[in-house]
Structure formats: structure tokens, C-alpha cells
């Protein structure tokens, strides 16, 4: 069985007997395979279309290299373009260079992994000798407050004492005041999610943004999200101007094509990836690894 794109393209080019030469025709055939691979990885079809066109333009103008088969050469272009699209080589670390306490706002749909990612982030920051405060600001799902308190206990990280009858904007404001008075240097705001974007939620998130002036607004996205990743991500980005993405559940079967879609429509970097349910399962994002995963 042909495992990956590279094998498929090699066979394809042999079949086309176009060895040594990259013609428009065999590039077209190759790009059909590339397109399929990206669609199978759940990259948004519009994003795929634009991307494949970019690769085509580059491939057609490319001299055939002695050292590579035409298949390998197309792969190389695809890889380079994908890594560039994902911001490979860019600094995608969190920007915490501000007067403490630095607020980080976590947003996303319900079930994406927001609360878990708040805990993971607190653990990561604690490991960097920072003093994070976790703030439950999801008052619609009382279990969310409890969930964050439990995570805080496991991590020995303080959780701000919010109640479900409070206004989320007030919670965030008070938490920041509390953090200033008590020497916390990062404040992680766990906001409410919904199953889909709605106006009420967006207005609330905008009000929290205005009140807390977060240094980072991280959109938490489930790597399993398919074609709708584009709409959800642009919905959040249009209203909140997010600063980055946390891609969760990359330990599952998902190829992670959602990351490509989100990056392509928002232009915002994936900063962190979740690779498990445990609190230590958070990693810095590497564009080249994601690209290998998608093409592999």
C-alpha cells in the first residue's frame, strides 16, 4: 500500500513517463494528489484551492533538479509552501512582555479544550518560575468553575474565587485587581464557550476584552474540527482580533488540517498544541512537524 504522498507521486510520475521533465500536464496530475491529501486532512476546500494554485505556479517555473525525481521535487515545493503558510521560522512564543499581572484570555467553542488548556498553560508558566492566577469566568456552566478549581488544586496554582451569580466582566476585573495586590504575574481568564458562535457570547467576550485588555487572546481549537474550522475561527477573530491559537487533541487521529485552515483565514499563529488530557500534555508548536503529519 502506498503510505504517503511522496510514494504516490513517484508512482504517478513513472506512470506518466515524464521522467526528468516537469510538464504542465504531469504537475497537474501531481497536484490532484496533493489536493486529495489536504482535503483528507480536513483542510478547508477554499484554502486548499488557493494553496494548490500557489504550488502550481511555482512548480511550472521550476527547473528539474538532477538530484530529485519530479515527484520529490513537487513534494519539496509543497512542504516549503506549507511550512511558510504555517509561519515556519517565526517566533510564536507567548508575548508576556508587559507590566504584571499580564492577562491572557482563552476563548473558543465549548468542548474545544479551553479549561484544560488553562490548566496546562498555568503549569507551563509555573515551570518558568512565573506566578499564574487561574480565573473561572464561565458562569453558565457551573461545572466549569469546579473543573478549574480542581485543576488548580492538582497544580498548586491559585484559582480566583468566582461565583456563578457574578457578571463575567466583573469577575475578570476583580481578578486583575486581586492579582495586582497579591503579586501574581500572569492572569489566565477561562471564558465561556458555546456549541456554536452566538451574538450574546461574542458581546460578552468583547466586553471582557475591553475590561481586561489581555496581552494574548488565544483561540482554543479542536484539531478534529473539519470544514467549519474556518467559520468558527474567523468568527472569533473578526470580533476579538485573537493573537494566537492553541490547537488541542493533536494526540488523536486528526491530521491537524484545521490548523492550516485557521492560519490561512486569520493569519494568526498557532502558538501551542495540546497532545493529551493530562496537564503536562502541552507543547510549543512546530510548523514542520504539523506539515509532516499532514503529508505523512
**Which residue ranges make up the site for ligand GDP (CB under 6 A)?**
108, 110-116, 193, 248-249, 251-252, 274-277, 281
Q: How far is the CB of 114 from ligand GDP (least distance, A)?
A: 3
Q: How many CB atoms lie within 10 A of CB 237?
A: 20
Residues whose CB falls within 8 Å of the CB of residue 80, separated by 6 or more in sequence, listed in order: none
- Tell whether 18 is in a known binding site: no
Q: How far is the CB of 288 from ligand GDP (least distance, A)?
A: 20
- Tell whether 110 is in a known binding site: yes
Residue 50 sits at φ, ψ, to 5 deg, of -60, -40
Distance CA 182, CA 162 (A): 16
**Cβ proximity of 223 and 252 under 8 Å:** yes
- Tell whether 108 is in a known binding site: yes
Q: How far is the CB of 157 from ligand GDP (least distance, A)?
A: 15
Residue 107 sits at φ, ψ, to 5 deg, of -130, 160
Q: With the CA atoms of 261, 262, 263 and 269 taken in that order, what torsion angle do they form, in degrees rounded to the nearest 10? A: -150
Q: How many CB atoms lie within 10 A of CB 170?
A: 12
Q: How far is the CB of 69 from ligand GDP (least distance, A)?
A: 37
Q: How far is the CB of 189 from ligand GDP (least distance, A)?
A: 12
Q: Which three cell numbers stand for residue 283?
A: 507543547
Instruction: Tell me whether residue 74 or residue 106 sits nearer to ligand GDP (CB atom).
Output: 106
Residue 132 sits at φ, ψ, to 5 deg, of -85, 150
Distance CA 165, CA 221 (A): 28
Instruction: Tell me whether residue 77 or residue 250 sits nearer to ligand GDP (CB atom).
Output: 250
Q: Which three cell numbers stand for residue 160?
A: 480566583
- Tell whether 115 is in a known binding site: yes
Instruction: Tell me whether residue 59 or residue 259 sits nearer to ligand GDP (CB atom).
Output: 259
Instruction: Tell me whether residue 35 or residue 194 sits nearer to ligand GDP (CB atom).
Output: 194
Q: How far is the CB of 75 from ligand GDP (least distance, A)?
A: 29
Q: How far is the CB of 116 from ligand GDP (least distance, A)?
A: 3
- Tell whether 218 is in a known binding site: no
- Tell whether 194 is in a known binding site: yes
| Ramachandran class of 249: left when φ > 0, alpha when ψ lies in -120 to 50, beta otherwise | left
CA 250 vs. chain centroid, Å, equals 10
Determine if the peptide bond prior to 66 is cis (ω within 30°).
Answer: no
- Tell whether 113 is in a known binding site: yes
- Tell whether 205 is in a known binding site: no
Length of the chain: 296
Binding residues for GTP: 108-115, 190-194, 248-251
What residue numbers does the annotated binding site cover?
108-115, 190-194, 248-251
Amino acid at each position: 500500500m502506498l503510505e504517503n504522498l511522496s510514494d504516490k507521486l513517484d508512482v504517478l510520475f513513472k506512470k506518466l513517463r515524464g521522467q526528468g521533465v516537469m510538464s504542465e500536464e504531469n504537475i497537474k496530475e501531481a497536484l490532484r494528489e496533493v489536493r486529495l491529501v489536504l482535503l483528507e486532512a480536513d483542510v478547508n476546500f477554499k484554502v486548499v484551492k488557493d494553496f494548490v494554485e500557489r504550488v502550481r505556479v511555482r512548480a511550472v517555473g521550476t527547473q528539474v533538479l538532477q538530484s530529485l525525481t519530479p515527484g520529490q521535487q513537487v513534494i519539496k515545493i509543497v512542504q516549503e509552501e506549507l511550512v511558510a503558510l504555517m509561519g515556519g521560522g517565526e517566533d510564536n512564543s507567548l508575548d508576556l512582555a508587559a507590566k504584571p499581572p499580564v492577562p491572557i484570555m482563552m476563548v473558543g467553542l465549548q468542548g474545544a479544550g479551553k479549561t484544560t488548556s488553562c490548566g496546562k498553560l498555568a503549569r507551563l508558566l509555573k515551570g518558568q518560575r512565573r506566578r499564574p492566577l487561574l480565573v473561572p469566568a464561565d458562569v453558565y456552566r457551573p461545572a466549569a468553575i469546579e473543573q478549574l478549581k480542581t485543576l488548580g488544586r492538582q497544580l498548586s496554582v491559585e484559582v480566583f474565587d468566582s461565583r456563578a451569580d457574578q457578571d463575567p466582566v466583573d469577575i475578570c476585573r476583580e481578578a486583575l485587581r486581586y492579582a495586582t495586590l497579591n503579586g501574581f504575574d500572569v492572569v489566565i481568564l477561562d471564558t465561556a464557550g458555546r456549541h456554536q458562535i452566538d451574538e450574546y457570547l461574542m458581546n460578552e467576550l468583547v466586553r471582557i476584552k475591553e475590561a481586561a485588555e489581555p496581552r494574548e487572546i488565544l483561540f482554543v481549537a479542536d484539531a478534529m474540527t473539519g470544514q467549519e474550522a474556518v467559520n468558527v475561527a474567523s468568527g472569533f477573530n473578526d470580533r476579538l482580533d485573537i493573537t494566537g491559537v492553541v490547537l488541542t487533541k493533536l494526540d488523536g487521529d486528526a491530521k491537524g488540517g484545521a490548523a492550516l485552515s485557521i492560519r490561512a483565514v486569520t493569519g494568526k499563529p498557532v502558538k501551542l498544541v495540546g497532545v493529551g488530557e493530562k496537564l503536562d500534555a502541552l507543547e510549543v508548536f512546530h510548523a514542520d512537524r504539523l506539515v509532516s503529519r499532514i503529508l505523512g
